[in-house]
Amino acid sequence: MGDMANHAHISGAAMDRRVAVPRRYGLIALAIVALLACVLLLAWYWPRGVPVSRADVEIAAAKNGPFRDVVVGRATAQPLQSVLLDATEDGRVEQVLVKDGERVEAGQLLVVLSSTQRAQELMARSSEAAQQLANFSTLRAAWMQAQAAQRRTLTESQFELERVRRLHLRNKELAATGFLSPSALEDSADKLSMAERLFAQQQADGREELAVREQSVRAMQRAVADLNKRLDAMRTASEGLAVRAPVAGRVTGLALQVGESVRIGTRIARLDSLGRFKLDLRLDEFHLGRVRDGLAATLTHGGRDYPLRVARIDPQVKDGRFSAELTFDAEPPALQVGQGLDVHLTLGNTQQALLLPDAGFYADTGGAWAFVLDANGRHAPRRELKLGRRADGVIEVLGGLQPGEQVVVSPYRAFAAAPSLQID
């Protein structure tokens, strides 16, 4: 009986395997059929092109017209000149005398700072300078007294020398007539020689003494002058605690509060020039190689055209754009700092050319190709193009198109890999 049960079990397992194998092959066959259907579908649509609704794309014709080599960009009004005011000393804000955005004149007091340490140093240096000045006065007075004493001494010595000389001359006359002995005449000559030596010695000693005193006075004078210079520098630094406007302008960025501590180098405010502006123009990096200093531009504002010139170019590209600084050729209009304006920048002369609108397709293809509609206007295969300059909302066509041909100019992101489009 057991053998019969085992035999029945084995027969059932074999039967299950025979049923499972056709099921697996059936699933594979279905997958193959679905794949073939997709391939046949693609084979049907691919030559005809990816179907696209006409309402979902933008179509434009290539047309002959004047290519105005003018680019329109968004510019921001900036002050022509700005002066930055930074703290030159550590201090504490005692007074803020103007408000942010206020107009000020040159020399006007803006902010007053205080520094206890600086005040103490100034007092100590002033006391030292006063002491040195007193010492210099004393030394100079002693020098002048020594000069006076020297003059008196020399005057007395000179008087004595003249007296001895006159006496010796009389003695010589008396000795010649026999009224004075030779020994008395010799004694008179010795006194005259001694007086001459004493006078010469006093002159030499006086010169040396006065030279030493003068040298000391000069050295003290230089020391006092140096100390005064340092004192003046410290006073100038202390005056830096009183922040004044170096030029007339409008105060910007002043946000100090009374009692606030300020460190050296802290930005206090900025002074912007009044009524004088420049424009910061942002342009697509495509134009970087064509923009140069001196190019003409025009701003239309308030119903008037204002001529400008490119003054400086910042070639650093950020987010696909670079900056050019424009200045006005004449008196600028009344603007506000940060105001946005449209500027027309002239890159070259106007010429006749075949033109396409500067639309989204250019960003997706780089201008290398485009979908061009055939004669019936429903099939648009890829076509290689040669495009040139872009300006004033149009692109210069150098090759690949004829006047009147229709081009899909809207973005290609949804079907960039397709060889052609079927326009419904």
| Domain termination residue (choose one: 346, 363, 398) | 346
pLDDT surpasses 70 at 38: no
14 band by pLDDT with thresholds 50, 70 and 90: very low
Residues 357 and 257 in one domain: no
Structure-model confidence comparison of residues 271 and 17, the more confident one: 271
Containing 36, the helix (H) or strand (E) segment is: helix 2-48
Q: Between 116-177 and 182-239, two packed helices, what is the crossing angle to 10 degrees?
A: 170
What is the reported pLDDT for 234?
A: 59
Alpha carbon 199 to its chain centroid, in Å, reads 75
What is the reported pLDDT for 235?
A: 62
53-59 long-range Cβ contacts below 8 angstroms, 24+ apart = 53/423, 53/424, 54/423, 54/424, 56/410, 57/408, 57/410, 57/421, 57/423, 58/359, 58/360, 58/408, 58/409, 58/410, 59/373, 59/406, 59/407, 59/408, 59/409, 59/423
- For residue range 393-410, list pLDDT tens digits in order: 889 999 999 999 999 999
Is residue 343 within 8 A of residue 73, CB to CB? The reply is: yes
CATH code of the domain containing 369: 2.40.420.20
Return the beta strands (E) in 140-217 as ranges.
Answer: none
- Residue range 375-391: average pLDDT? 89
Residues 88 and 124 in one domain: no
Residues 96 and 171 in one domain: no
pLDDT surpasses 60 at 25: no
Helix (H, G, I), strand (E, B) or coil at 179: coil
- For residue range 354-363, list pLDDT tens digits in order: 999 998 999 8
What is the reported pLDDT for 313?
A: 92
Residues 122 and 265 in one domain: no
CATH code of the domain containing 313: 2.40.30.170
- Residues 154, 160, 164, 165: what is their CA dihedral angle, to the nearest 10 degrees? 40
What is the reported pLDDT for 309?
A: 93
45 band by pLDDT with thresholds 50, 70 and 90: very low
210 band by pLDDT with thresholds 50, 70 and 90: confident
Is residue 333 within 8 A of residue 308, CB to CB? The reply is: no
Q: Who contacts 135 (Cβ-Cβ below 8 Å, separation ≥6)?
A: 220
What is the reported pLDDT for 385?
A: 93
Among 71-75, 213-217, 310-314, which stretch is predicted with the lowest mean pLDDT? 213-217
Is residue 401 within 8 A of residue 62, CB to CB? The reply is: yes
Is residue 256 within 8 A of residue 270, CB to CB? The reply is: no
Is residue 100 within 8 A of residue 271, CB to CB? The reply is: no
Is residue 349 within 8 A of residue 391, CB to CB? The reply is: no
| Domain termination residue (choose one: 328, 346, 364) | 346
Q: How many residues does the chain have?
A: 424
Phi and psi torsions of 45, nearest 5°: -85, -30
* Residue 273 DSSP class: P
Is residue 365 within 8 A of residue 320, CB to CB? The reply is: no
For strands 103-104 and 242-244, give the pairing. unpaired
Residues 126 and 99 in one domain: no
Among 14-23, 86-95, 144-153, which stretch is predicted with the lowest mean pLDDT? 14-23
What is the reported pLDDT for 24?
A: 57
Residues 221 and 360 in one domain: no
Range of the domain at 414: 50-63+353-423
- For residue range 89-133, list pLDDT tens digits in order: 777 888 888 888 888 888 888 888 777 666 566 666 766 777 777
Number of domains in the chain: 5
pLDDT surpasses 90 at 157: no
Q: Provide the token pair at 136.
A: 């210099």
Residues 322 and 311 in one domain: yes
Radius of gyration over every alpha carbon of the chain, rounded to an integer in angstroms: 52
Strand partners, 343: 73, 299
Q: Provide the token pair at 363.
A: 């960003």
CA distance 39 to 62: 36
Q: Provide the token pair at 144.
A: 């002048």
Is residue 281 within 8 A of residue 73, CB to CB? The reply is: yes
Residues 38 and 93 in one domain: no
Residues 122 and 183 in one domain: yes
CATH code of the domain containing 250: 2.40.50.100
What is the reported pLDDT for 64?
A: 93
- Residue range 301-329: average pLDDT? 90
Helices marked H in 325-372 — which ranges? 361-365
Strand partners, 371: 382, 408
236 band by pLDDT with thresholds 50, 70 and 90: low
CA separation, residue 343 to residues 71, 86, 301, 323, 339 (Å): 8, 34, 10, 13, 12
Instruction: Work out the mean pLDDT of the chain and round it to a whole number.
Output: 80
| Domain termination residue (choose one: 296, 322, 346) | 346
Residues 235 and 316 in one domain: no
- Residue that is written with structure tokens 């001529």 in the block: 307
Residues 219 and 282 in one domain: no
The amino acid present at 67, given as its one-letter code, is F
- Residues 233, 235, 238, 242: what is their CA dihedral angle, to the nearest 10 degrees? -110
Residues 37 and 87 in one domain: no
What is the reported pLDDT for 382?
A: 93
